[in-house]
Each structure stands twice: as C-alpha cells, then as structure tokens.
Amino acid sequence: MRIDIITCLPRLLDSFLNQSIVLRAQQKGLAELVVHDLRDYAEGKARQTDDYAFGGGAGMVMMIEPIVRCIRHLQAQRPYDHLIYMTPDGQRFDQKTANRLSLGRNLLILCGHYKGVDERVREHFITLELSIGDFVLSGGELPAAVVADALVRLLPGVLSDETSALTDSFQDNLLAPPVYTRPAVFEGWEVPPVLLSGHEANINEWRFQQALARTQARRPDLLAGSGLE
C-alpha cells in the first residue's frame, strides 16, 4: 500500500513516519508513506498556499491552484483508490472504514488548514471526506496520521502476530476485553483464574462475556441491532 499525504507543514509528520509500526511496515516493504510539501507547488517567492476568503470573515482559505497542481502531478504517476480530505465535517472514521480502505493499493490524503480548502477542491477532486471526531484541530496532519496508522497495522505481515488486529476493539462491534500479564499476583490483586487455566474454550468464552459486558456498559450503541443488547 502507498499513502501520499499533502500538507503545508510536512515536518509535523516526521516523527510519525519514523517510529513504531509505521516504520516497521516501510522497512518490510509492505507500505510506502510519502509526504508532499504543498509549498513546492505554490508560486512566488513566498510560496503562498492560502488567501483571504471571498465575502470576508475571519480566517484564511487554502488556495485551489497549488493543491490541484500537486494532485494532478501525483495522479499522473499512479491511479488512486481514493482522494481523502481530512475535515471536521467529514464522515466519521471508524474501524469498518479502516478495514475497507486497507484493501486499497494507493491512497492520497489532503490535510486541511486554516478555514479549510477552497470548496472547488472538494467538489471536483475529493472522493472521500473523513473526520476523526467532533472537534477542531489546527490542521489535518494529526488526523491523517491517525488514518494512516489504522490502515497500515491491518496490512498482512506488519504485526508480528497477524491475529492481533482481528481481536482489537470494534472489529466485531465489541470493545476489547480486559488483558493481564505477569505477575499473576500483585499486591494481592490476582489475575482471573480462567486465564491461567490453559482451557482455550473457557478462556474464549470469558473474553467474549467480558467484551460484551464492557460494550454494554460503555458503548451500547455498538450493539444496536446485533441481538446482543
């Protein structure tokens, strides 16, 4: 999988690209993440990428021209499954969306800034708009990193244990059950005996019941229509 990220602040993504699972995926040749500086596609000495909004009002707007130049330059090199724009008014990003997008080959993510991008970019180029929550950040770089991380860890061969991602929260509309590790007893607090029993069927049933109870208590909305309410 290749993920291209367009941003006017590329250094914000440096640490993300060179740490943990994302770095491992790139070292294994399973993913390629490339950041593109939008200012490289801007004109003039100042390499301006934003301007005042027509109609007045506070805040700047990202200009259409450098964005379109960058998008067209990248599209000339490869086809994209989606051109994604990170925006607070986009579709809520969730695990089902991550699962679907992880099956793609090439994705392009545009990071917004200021008051957002010129609407004509959204109308004529963007195929999917995503939000990571009902709040506003300074820019789309952190949301883009969140999306990229969620996708990359789903790629076969990235995680040491490929079944790990299948047991994460939200994969089956349940939150993950409690987990424990050594020591089995700490200051009198004991690990549930069933987890030490070695009985796989009993352990799996315990985990399911714990996941169900946790979901009912914390996120009952996930169970709507599942018959497990």
Q: At 163, is the pLDDT very low, low, confident or very high (cuts 50, 70, 90)?
A: low
pLDDT averaged over every residue in the chain? 92
Q: Indicate if the pLDDT at residue 168 is higher than 70.
A: no
pLDDT higher than threshold 70 for residue 171: no
The answer regarding whether domain 169-223 maps to CATH 1.10.1270.20 reads yes
pLDDT in tens, 1-59: 999 999 999 999 999 888 999 999 999 999 999 999 999 999 988 899 999 999 998 99
110, amino acid identity: L
pTM equals 0.88
Strand partners, 34: 4
What pLDDT score does 44 carry? 85
- Give the model's pLDDT for residue 172: 76
| Beta-strand runs (E) in 73-211 | 82-92, 106-111, 128-131, 185-186, 189-190
Beta bridge partners of 37: 7
- Written as six digits, the tokens of 84 are 């994604």
CATH class of 2-152: alpha beta
CATH 3.40.1280.10 domain residues, the chain: 2-152
| 69-91 confidence digits (pLDDT tens) | 999 999 999 999 999 999 999 99
CA-to-CA distance for 6 and 141, rounded, in angstroms? 9
Using the predicted structure, report yes or no on whether residue 164 has a pLDDT greater than 60.
no
